[in-house]
Structure 1
Amino acid sequence: MTSNDGTGSGAGARGPYAKGVQRRQEILDQTLDVVASRGIDGASLRAIGEAIGVSHAALRHYFSSREALLVEVLRERDAASNRALGDTAGVFTRLGVVADRNVSEPALVTLYTTLLGASVESGNETARSYFAERFATARSDLATQLRDELAASGRHTDADLDQVASLIIAAFDGLQVQWLLDRDVDIAGTLRLLERVL
């Protein structure tokens, strides 16, 4: 998923706009490092600003709140993950690649899981909106990919593929939570088992 805030429209632009886009990207790139070193609770806007050498006012110029900044970090990582996957074929192959990438960045998994939990509470509308949109898109994309894979293989199923997509997402996110608590949990391996079961 990508952001619709128009920041990408200035690619190749010069002057203050280009510098602003670059600075915003630097903030996003460095925020996850702050989360990794200080934890979510220690990653206030002020703490993030101090750690990366940006004033609180400058952070507020780019992001209206800590929640908005952290959600944007997740959006950026989603976009980077999608670019890295490219034309990787197969739903479960793609999920395995994403799982392996996520395992290499525990702070990203922690950030995702923490914001997901917070999104169900009132007052976290930015996170709620992000996750609602993300899940709707993921369900739709997964169901379409599953339909395409079945059609290409000549197989048929009576299962509701939208529900299967929901099940896959639930398994992936649940496995990530288990992995945060026990690093012996094999996310990609368990997803391969789910593929055989399905």
Structure 2
Amino acid sequence: MTSNDGIGTRGPYAKGVQRRREILDQTLDVVASRGIDGTSLRAIGDAIGVSHAALKHYFSSREALLVEVLRERDAASDRALGDTAGVFTRLTFVADRNVSEPALVTLYTTLLGASVESGNETAREFFAARFDEARGNLVAQLHDELAASGRHSDADLEQVASLIIAAFDGLQVQWLLDRNVDIAGTLRLLERVL
């Protein structure tokens, strides 16, 4: 059976989609157990029982696979949040979710750092687009929140959005180094300061 949107509900296509999802889910487990340096495509394939050729069928490179893990986790967070109102409510939800998956935070931070080096174009494109979209979303949300409260700000909302993103990512790095850093609590403080 195939739905009108062209996505099969059974058969080889559905199995391929399911297999791809399993690979993405299991890759984060490999990162958690072996660290980012132990996650070559071959090592990931060996750990999850998938041939190197099968991985290459779904992902052109290790970097593409790892970026897709992050992309899928972003989508999962968006689905879990739904239409949750409030910039900082959303951010603290994501922070709490992230600290429950240290390997995810490690993967994100490591790939972000690597994205500024040449040869990592897939990660660079992902993070540039992700930051651009995040700034745009934050600006829109901040604008809506200000309008709903009847307040006005002379601050450049794009700069405020960049500051919020920098605080969030910087707090995650600090948390990786010291698990006593309270990401969500510090973001709530930032909300009060702003």
Q: Which runs of 4+ in 1 moved over 6 A?
A: none
Separation of aligned partners in 2, 1:161 and 1:70 = 31
* Rounded Cα–Cα distance in structure 2 between residues aligned with 1:139 and 1:97: 18
Q: From 30, 36, 58, give the equivalent of 2:26.
A: 30
Q: How far apart are the structure 1 equivalents of 2:85 and 2:182? A: 21
Query: What amino acid maps onto 2:124 in structure 1?
Result: R
- Aligned counterparts of 2:92 and 2:154: Cα–Cα separation in 1: 25
Shift of 1:11: 4.3
Question: Structure 2: any 5+ residue segments left out of the alignment?
Answer: none
1:153 alignment counterpart: 149
- The correspondence of residues 87-98 of structure 1 with structure 2, limited to 5 A, is 87-98=83-94
- Following superposition, the deviation at residue 41 of structure 1 comes to 0.3
- Asked whether 1:106 is paired with 2:117, we answer no
Name the amino acid aligned to 1:72.
Answer: E
- Number of aligned residue pairs: 190
Cα drift, residue 18 of structure 1: 1.1
TM-score by length of structure 1 reads 0.94
Q: Could you tell me whether the CA contact under 8 Å between 1:139 and 1:165 is conserved in 2?
A: yes
Residue 88 of structure 1: how far off its partner (Å): 1.2
| Mapped partners of 1:159, 1:113: distance in 2 | 29
Deviation at 1:10, TM superposition (A): 5.5
SS in 2 for 1:96: helix
The 3-state SS of whatever aligns with 2:98 is: helix
Equivalent runs, 1:94-173 vs 2, <5 Å: 94-173=90-169
Identify the residue that residue 5 of structure 1 maps to in structure 2: none
Matched residues in 2 for 1:99 and 1:37: separation? Answer: 22
Give TM-score scaled by structure 2 length: 0.96
Instruction: Measure how far apart 1:14 and its partner are.
Output: 2.0
User: Could you give the per-residue CA deviations for residues 1-41 of structure 1, whole angstroms, max 9, x where no partner exists?
Assistant: xxxxxxxx654432111111111111001100000000000
Q: Tell me the C-alpha RMSD between the 2 structures.
A: 0.9
SS at match of 1:41: helix
Pair 1:10–1:190, CA change in 2 (3 A): farther
| Alignment check: 8 A CA contact 1:45 1:65 kept | yes
- Deviation, structure 1 residue 60: 0.3
Which of 179, 189, 193 pairs up with 1:193?
A: 189
Given that 1:35 and 1:107 are in contact with CA atoms closer than 8 Å, whether structure 2 keeps it comes out as yes
Say which is worse superposed, 63-72 or 82-91, in terms of deviation. Answer: 82-91
2:53 counterpart residue number: 57
1:41 and 2:37 aligned: yes
The equivalent of 1:16 in structure 2 is 12
